[in-house]
Amino acid sequence: MGTTRFILAGAAVLSMLGSSAFADDMTGMVTRIDRLNGTISIQQTQKGTVGGSAGGAGALQEYKTKDAAMLDSVHAGDRVSYSATDNNGTGTLTKLQKQ
């Protein structure tokens, strides 16, 4: 019984680390910036050629920023690379860089 729990716990950790919530260097396009509330909406760009589509749009996500100064260098329509974490269902940007 103990071995089974250990294996299941390890599988849960691996699946959590592989999720997009902890992904590094995602790319997307800024769709909206709310500097007063410190939030930004980014349309994530799909990677790869699965299904033969070339660069289709992914999910639209809204993120909070830890530091409002992160939003000073980007504008709606800019392509960006970014990293984010998920804190209790709220995405928080940890890195934002204009491409």
The model's pLDDT over 58-90, given as tens digits with 9 standing for 90+, comes to 788 999 998 889 999 999 999 999 999 988 888
Q: pTM of the prediction?
A: 0.66
Tokens of 15: 């699946």
| Domains defined for the chain, CATH in brackets | 22-98 (2.40.50.320)
pLDDT digits (tens, 9 = 90+) for 6-60: 565 555 554 454 444 444 689 999 999 999 999 999 999 876 655 555 455 578 8
Distances from the Cα of 59 to the Cαs of 23, 31, 69, 78, 84, in angstroms? 14, 12, 25, 16, 14
3-state secondary structure of 53: coil
For the beta carbon of residue 33, count every other beta carbon within 10 angstroms: 19
Rounded to an integer, what distance in angstroms lies between the CA atom of residue 27 and that of residue 36? Answer: 24
Euclidean distance between CA atoms 44 and 84, whole angstroms? 12
Give the residues across from 30 on adjacent strands. 42
